[in-house]
């Protein structure tokens, strides 16, 4: 952090002495006012529900400018990474801080792809779940259970353990997600095949069977890889903050990542694309494209209780840069699979058209977000709606690990302990 020349002065109207607070510059983005000594100086806390104006940490990993619609991984625009790199290149960047050289790239790809198998006992662990269990319930358990199978890399304060755990998590998450999917279908698990790409291997484990050879479609493979890149990290969101908070206690990396999976499950976070597809299916049942106008009018009516899922974003006040890339991928996948005229996809296109042209949505900057398009792409590929969030967790794992490692390496880090504004009963005695 760079200390600014100026300071912030906090004054009080009740005559209490004013307090000077240090100001720090980031490399880009808003400055921060350092309030760490506020309680000691004034006896007061700040109050900021949802952390809308609070920086909980300093980080060098991901930067978002919501007004510009800009997303940078380690300084590189997401548009360039999604078109010039693959997911494992992006993983290396997030973990190491720089894009790999040719030699580093080959070594890292081999390292990850050589560790895609999971302990054979994991399949017996799976059998404890009902076949109709939500995949995120299964994944939360499986990821947490990794600490029991890989207990030689659970010391979060040991850099070597963190490195080993990072590779294991990135390599094995596709296998675990595919296993959760196959278990729900009652199909045999497909062992990973390390001569395939990261995305290609995942598709084979998802959709291949022992009955015949599975051939990876390069268009679908590229689309899957792009979904992974676009979801790899997103600054201090709810699940990332959960991983950091959980990890701040010194718990093992697998437990911290499992906490992130659980947080991601929520419909306001990782479950947003699932909620978006459910919304489209509801409109389709009510009459499809002919009912879009009526539905959008209900969205405008605040008293109707109808919400437009997959549009707008808490951070982006401009077009989500990930959405533009996902829109291109969406069109490529639909064309490749001959689904341009699928009723649900035609419905989605009509919804998109209205949202981009109607003044109500344009003025409120309710642009389609990445969840809108990624849900459509995943449905077209054949991924069931209830697995969408599992795909998100797979992609986000590297971001969680990078953030966790950064926090543990920060000499200023402490166990997370938010404060509160207490509004309950004051002290009283039992009669």
- How many C-beta atoms lie closer than 10 Å to residue 39's C-beta? 12
The dihedral region occupied by 337, where left means phi > 0, alpha psi between -120 and 50, and beta the remainder, is alpha
Integer angstrom CA distances of residue 144 from 106, 176, 377: 30, 12, 29
Distance CA 268, CA 371 (A): 11
Of the residues 89, 371, 410, 429, which is catalytic? Answer: 371
Annotated catalytic, 313? Answer: yes
**Could you tell me whether strands 19-25 and 62-65 are parallel, antiparallel, or unpaired per DSSP bridges?**
unpaired
Of the residues 109, 233, 313, 320, which is catalytic? Answer: 313
Distance CA 260, CA 149 (A): 19
3: CB partners within 8 A, 6+ apart: 22, 23, 24, 25
Annotated catalytic, 161? Answer: no
Sheet holding 70-73, edge to edge: 62-65, 70-73, 76-77
Distance CA 142, CA 146 (A): 6
Q: What is the DSSP string of 140-171?
A: HHHHHHHHHH-GGG--TT-HHHHHHHHHHHHH
Dig out the tokens for 259 from the structure.
Answer: 């906490």
**Could you tell me whether strands 19-25 and 76-77 are parallel, antiparallel, or unpaired per DSSP bridges?**
unpaired
CA dihedral of residues 310, 386, 85, 372 (deg, nearest 10): -10
Q: Position of tokens 């899922």?
A: 309
Distance CA 347, CA 289 (A): 5
List the catalytic residues. 313, 371
């Amino acid at each position: 952090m760079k200390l600014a020349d100026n300071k912030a002065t906090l004054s009080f109207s009740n005559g209490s002495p004013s307090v000077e607070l240090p100001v720090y510059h980031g490399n880009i983005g808003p400055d921060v006012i350092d309030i760490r000594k506020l309680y000691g100086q004034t006896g007061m806390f700040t109050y900021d529900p949802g952390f809308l104006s609070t920086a909980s940490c300093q980080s060098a990993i991901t930067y978002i400018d919501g007004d510009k619609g800009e997303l940078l991984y380690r300084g590189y625009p997401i548009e360039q990474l999604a078109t010039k790199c693959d997911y494992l290149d992006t993983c290396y960047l997030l973990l190491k801080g720089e894009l790999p050289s040719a030699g580093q790239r080959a070594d890292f790809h081999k390292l990850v792809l050589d560790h895609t198998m999971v302990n054979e006992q994991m399949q017996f662990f799976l059998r404890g779940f009902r076949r109709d269990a939500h995949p995120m319930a299964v994944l939360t358990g499986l990821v947490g259970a990794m600490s029991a199978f890989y207990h030689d890399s659970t010391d979060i304060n040991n850099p070597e353990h963190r490195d080993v755990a990072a590779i294991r998590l990135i390599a094995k998450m596709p296998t675990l997600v595919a296993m959760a999917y196959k278990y729900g279908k009652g199909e045999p698990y497909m062992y990973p095949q390390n001569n395939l790409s990261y995305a290609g291997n995942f598709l084979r484990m998802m959709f291949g069977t022992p009955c015949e050879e599975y051939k990876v479609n390069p268009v679908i493979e590229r689309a899957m890889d792009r979904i992974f890149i676009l979801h790899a990290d997103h600054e201090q969101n709810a699940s990332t903050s959960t991983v950091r908070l959980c990890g701040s206690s010194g718990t093992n990396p697998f437990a911290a990542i499992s906490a992130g999976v659980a947080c991601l499950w929520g419909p306001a976070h990782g479950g947003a694309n699932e909620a978006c597809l459910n919304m489209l299916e509801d409109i389709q049942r009510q009459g499809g494209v002919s009912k879009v106008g009526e539905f959008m009018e209900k969205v405008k009516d605040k008293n109707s209780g109808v919400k437009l899922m997959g549009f707008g974003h808490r951070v982006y006040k401009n077009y989500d840069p990930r959405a533009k890339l996902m829109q291109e991928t969406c069109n490529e996948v639909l064309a490749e699979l001959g689904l341009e005229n699928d009723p649900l996809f035609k419905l989605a296109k009509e919804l998109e058209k209205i949202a981009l042209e109607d003044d109500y949505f344009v003025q409120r900057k309710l642009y389609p977000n990445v969840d809108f398009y990624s849900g459509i792409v995943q449905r077209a590929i054949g991924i069931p709606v209830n697995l969408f969030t599992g795909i998100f967790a797979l992609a986000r794992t590297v971001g969680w690990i990078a953030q966790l490692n950064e926090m543990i390496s920060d000499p200023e880090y402490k166990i997370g302990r938010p404060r509160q504004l207490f509004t309950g009963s004051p002290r009283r005695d039992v009669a």
